[in-house]
Each structure stands twice: as structure tokens, then as C-alpha cells.
Amino acid sequence: MPRKPAKQRELDPTLPIYQIKISLRHTEPLIWRRVQIDDCSLHELHEIIQATMGWEDMHMYAFVIEGEDYGNAKRNSEADYDSRFVRLSEVVDEGHTRFRYDYDFGDNWEHVIDVEKTLPAEPGVRYPRCVKGEHPCPPEDCGGPWGYADLLEKIYDPEDEEHDEALAWVGDNFDPDEFDLDAVNDELRHLRPWLGKREGKHVSKAVFAKGDLVRVKSGVVHDEYPDIPLGGWVGKVKRIAWLTPIAYGIRWTKPTLNQAHPVFFKRCQRDETKPYKYWADEDQLELASVETPVAMEQPTNIVTRPLSTDEPDDRIRMVFGLTTDDALPKADEQTQRQFLEHLKGHLSYPFEADYWPTSDSGPSQSGKVTVLGFANPPLDRKEGIVCEARRGQKVLQVPLAGLQVGEDDPNVRHVEDYTHWLWESLDKEEDDDEVESPQFPIGTVAYYGPDDKTTTKIVAGVITEEGAEPILRRWMASDVTTNPKVQEQIDRFFKKHGVRHVGMSPGNIGCPHEEGEDFPVGGDCPFCPWWKGKQGSGAEE
């Protein structure tokens, strides 16, 4: 029998918050979430679904509405429509209160999206927020609903011959019966700065504009570090997120950072975040007249989390006498010697291990070895700590980081901690090497168009110094890249400002209205599917 179409719900179009239920089909027991959100693009809804369900955004997706697909053309989607330029309010206004969201076309996860009702915004509540749900998200790449059902059978049955393997695959933190609402809302809180790039249907008027100097009101604390007050901090508005409440991307002024507590910078270094950037809600801010704070609130009770022997990073901090506020030190000659002295007092020889080559320096053949002690000398500039080991009658020198020790061996934690620290340090060095110091002034070129084939707007920018507002110039036409005069004018623009290095977008990064500029003012824009029918925009050569 054909399935009956869902009954259309009567929703109050004047209320700004949409309550939706996300149900993952073909799962037993049913995995679902109830979320309250602002009006948003379908692509932003995709990001909300990913964070709310617990997916890792590793695969393609599509919304299926009345038999037509909506996906992100920027991610090579072959969907009928671009999800970045279609809003949830438009879908609902057309009477579609139930539709499908498909994720990972290999595993084929189908979600039913039910728009249950519209609500007034609650004072003091940040949206999006999850209000209820049941059961955690399945692991990525587990084989879809039927593969997940098979995985659960193995997890629940200790007699199954693959029980231990299944538990090891999902990890220690996975509980198929537990749903962590606080963790989901924490994910949504971190997602907020990536949402609200365009004004929604019921957006409030922003109190502050880009470029405004703002000051944090007294009593406000840092979102991530609640023992660090932000009252009195001054910054400049760099971006507006059209959410409930409206949020502002702020760049702190230099006088503000000069007065910030040292532990703030230590934590930013530890968490690899930029200390000069922050997002604040509208009700936390007021206008400021000068960049220098009049009075900045300072911490009076810094709370440092105790070190835990269950955390590898904390055990490494113990080696160096650090606290949880400190970043792990990089691996250099001095820190290698410190770790070596620690291991001299904790490793017990001999012990058995599997050796895996980590570079061309050690033996090329993997296999079992008996580790006899530290080599002489015990430190190598490239490999770090080196051990002497025996394989048969042959004595070898092997890097400690290339050894894998059995779980029952008392040395296992010490070897794994050292290996973890060394590889983390090397990875960070590689990341730092890839990021070259920018040579100002820097030029940027961004392309905009209705699809991936036609470019209707080019925005060239010049950044004269770090943190400076870019100097922008725009060119618009039915296909601006085919106009030779445009390239000449861009070259002259960069030459005028002394630009030597230019970064360019690989293709169109969005519609002509992506940066919030009309394109240009006139009638309806024939190039822009998102702006179609909106008043106050149009296209003219």
C-alpha cells in the first residue's frame, strides 16, 4: 500500500523559533532528537543535524523535499538545488513540515525531519538548543542501519566471538543506551559562530555594526573559562551572526590584551585557540568610545583542574611539573633529556615489544624484540630516545617511539605516553612549518556566482596589517571573468597598495549576496536562486 502523505501542520508564521524532531529511520530502538532553532539555510540545518545527532560530517548529504534534492554544490553535490541558498522558512511556508535528510550515501542513513511547531524566543536562551533525545549516534562507517544492528548484537552479547573486537572498535566511551544532552548542547554552542551568516525571517535589528568598538558588560565571564571575567574588555565587531540572541565576532584591542591575565594566554596556547578572537551575545555588550579599557575585571579565583593519571596529556604534564593550564612542551633536546630522566626511574628492563619502523634511521624490518635498556648514547637528534634491543642473536638500536608494548606489561603507559608526546610535538611542528608568516600587504580575490559555472561578482581585498579591516573593491557583470578590463583594474588596485602576495578562492564561494551586499540595488536578481523574489536586489551590468 502506498504511504499516506504527512498531514500538514498549522504553524504560526509570526513566531521566530522552529521546533523540529530528527528521527533516524530503521534504528531499533529509535534514535531521535528534538531541537529548537532559528530560521536558517538548509546547509546550516545540515550542520545543526550533524552536531545534534553526533555525526562527524565525513560524507555527502541531501535533503529530499517533494522528490527534489537539496545539497551543497560547493562540496560537489549533484543535487537539484543548492542547500546554501534555500531557507527553512521558505520550505515551511510552502507547506513542507515533514521531509527527509539523507547522510552518507554508502551507509544510507535516512532521517525524518518533522517541523513540529513554532515558538516565541525565551529570554536568556541561546539557539539552536536541543531539548530532548534518546540514544547516541551510531559510529561512522558502521554499515548503515543493518550494520549497526549487527554491531549492537555483538556488543550486548559477551559470548559472541566478536564481542571484544566490537567493543574495541566503538571505544570505551560508547554506550548504546546513553544520551548526553549537555554534550550535544555544548557542540551546538561551539557551532553558533558558523551559523547566521544571513538574516533570517524573524531576525531582530542588530544593535551594533561591523567596525563598532564595544565593551563587555560587568559580570560577564569567558564562555570556555568561567573563572576569567571579561567585564571591561574592549574589542571591535568583525562579524554579525544573525541568531537568537544576535552574536558578534569580536577582535580584542591591543590595550585589552596587554591587561589580560597570563593564565588566559596559557589556556589559549594549550587549546590552540586565538586569544584575540571571541564571540559575545548582544546583551553582554555595550558601545565603547576608546580602545583602552577604562577598568578591566581581573580573575580573583583561578580554578586549575587537578591533574588526572587517567589522562595521557596530564601524565605528560606531571613529567615536566606543569599544570592543566599549560600546553604540552615541544620536543627539543632539553625536554627529551627531562623525559629520559623520568623514564630511567620508571622503565623496567628487559621487556618484550613489537617493533615498528618509524623512519629510515632504525632497523627496516618490523617484528618482536627484547628491549635490554637505553642505548649509548640514549638520545638521537632525529629519533629521540633510543633503546638497545635483541632479535635472536642480533643486537639492534631501536627508537622508543617505535615500540608497542603489551597491555599487561607494567611499562606500557610510560612507552605510550612518550610516543604520544613525541608524535604530537612533531605534528605541531609540521603544522607550524606549513603556516608561513604573512607578508603584508596581502591581496585576496573572492568569486561569487549563482552556480559553479558563472561568476557574477568579484571582490578584491587588501589587508595592510594583521587585524586591519580589508580595503575592498567589487566588480559585477553577467560573467565578470570574461571581461578583460576587470583583470586590468584588479592588477592596478593591487599595485596601488603595494601587494605582492595574493590569495584566491578556487571557485565561486557563494551567491553574489554571500557577503551581505546587495547585488546591486534594483529589481529581482536573475542570477541568484537564493535571492529570487526578494525585494531590493537586482543585477545590472
pLDDT at 431: 59
Higher pLDDT, 428 or 288: 288
Residue 146, pLDDT above cutoff 90:
yes
Higher pLDDT, 34 or 519: 34
Cα–Cα distance for residue pair 536/75, rounded to 1 Å:
30
For the residues 215-222, what does the mean pLDDT come to?
98
For the residues 406-420, what does the mean pLDDT come to?
95
Least confident of 172-181, 305-314, 532-541: 532-541
Selection from 100, 111, 183, 187 nearest residue 144 by Cα: 111
Higher pLDDT, 238 or 513: 238
pLDDT at 291: 94
What CATH number labels 17-135+179-194? 3.10.290.30
Domain boundaries, the chain: 17-135+179-194, 213-287, 319-434, 436-541
Residue 530, pLDDT above cutoff 60:
no
Q: Which long-range contacts (CB under 8 A, 24 or more apart) does 110-113 make?
A: 110/24, 110/25, 110/26, 111/22, 111/23, 111/24, 111/25, 111/49, 111/53, 112/21, 112/22, 112/23, 112/25, 113/20, 113/21, 113/22, 113/45, 113/49, 113/63
For the residues 398-421, what does the mean pLDDT come to?
95
Residue 521, pLDDT above cutoff 50:
no
Task: Work out the percent of the chain whose per-residue pLDDT is above 70.
Answer: 88
For the residues 451-470, what does the mean pLDDT come to?
79
Residue 136 CB-density burial (10 A; 0-12 exposed, 13-18 middle, 19+ buried)? buried
Q: Would you place residue 234 in the very low, low, confident or very high pLDDT band (cuts 50, 70, 90)?
A: very high
Residue 522, pLDDT above cutoff 70:
no
Contact status, residue 133 vs residue 250, Cβ threshold 8 Å: no
Residue 540, pLDDT above cutoff 50:
no
For the residues 142-157, what does the mean pLDDT come to?
93
Which residues does residue 504 pair with via DSSP β-bridges, in sequence order? 445
Contact status, residue 52 vs residue 45, Cβ threshold 8 Å: no
Mean pLDDT over all residues of the chain?
88
Selection from 249, 293, 286, 281 nearest residue 467 by Cα: 249
Cis bond leading into 377, ω under 30°? yes
Q: Which long-range contacts (CB under 8 A, 24 or more apart) does 339-348 make?
A: 339/385, 339/418, 339/421, 340/374, 340/378, 340/379, 340/385, 343/385, 343/400, 343/414, 343/418, 344/374, 346/411, 346/414, 347/411, 347/414, 347/415, 348/410, 348/411
Higher pLDDT, 465 or 82: 82
Q: Would you place residue 516 in the very low, low, confident or very high pLDDT band (cuts 50, 70, 90)?
A: low
pLDDT at 72: 87
Residue 539, pLDDT above cutoff 90:
no
For the residues 224-234, what does the mean pLDDT come to?
97
Least confident of 262-271, 506-515, 527-536: 527-536
For the residues 34-53, what does the mean pLDDT come to?
97
Cα–Cα distance for residue pair 163/154, rounded to 1 Å:
5
**pTM score, whole prediction:** 0.74
pLDDT at 40: 95
Cis bond leading into 441, ω under 30°? yes
Task: Work out the percent of the chain whose per-residue pLDDT is above 90.
Answer: 64
What tens digit of pLDDT does each residue of 109-136 get? 999 999 999 999 999 999 999 999 999 9
Contact status, residue 92 vs residue 18, Cβ threshold 8 Å: yes
Specify the amino acid at residue 2: P
Q: What is the per-residue DSSP string for 367-421?
A: EEEEEEEEEEEEEETTTEEEEEEEETTEEEEEEGGGEE--TTSTTHHHHHHHHHH
Q: What is the per-residue DSSP string for 12-48?
A: -TT--EEEEEEEETT-SSPEEEEEEE-S-BHHHHHHH
The grid coordinates listed for 392 are 635472536
Least confident of 96-100, 249-253, 509-513, 522-526: 522-526
Which residues does residue 241 pair with via DSSP β-bridges, in sequence order? 247
pLDDT at 525: 52
What tens digit of pLDDT does each residue of 489-502 get? 888 899 888 888 88
pLDDT at 447: 84
Residue 528, pLDDT above cutoff 60:
no
Cα–Cα distance for residue pair 367/396, rounded to 1 Å:
12
Residue 377, pLDDT above cutoff 90:
yes
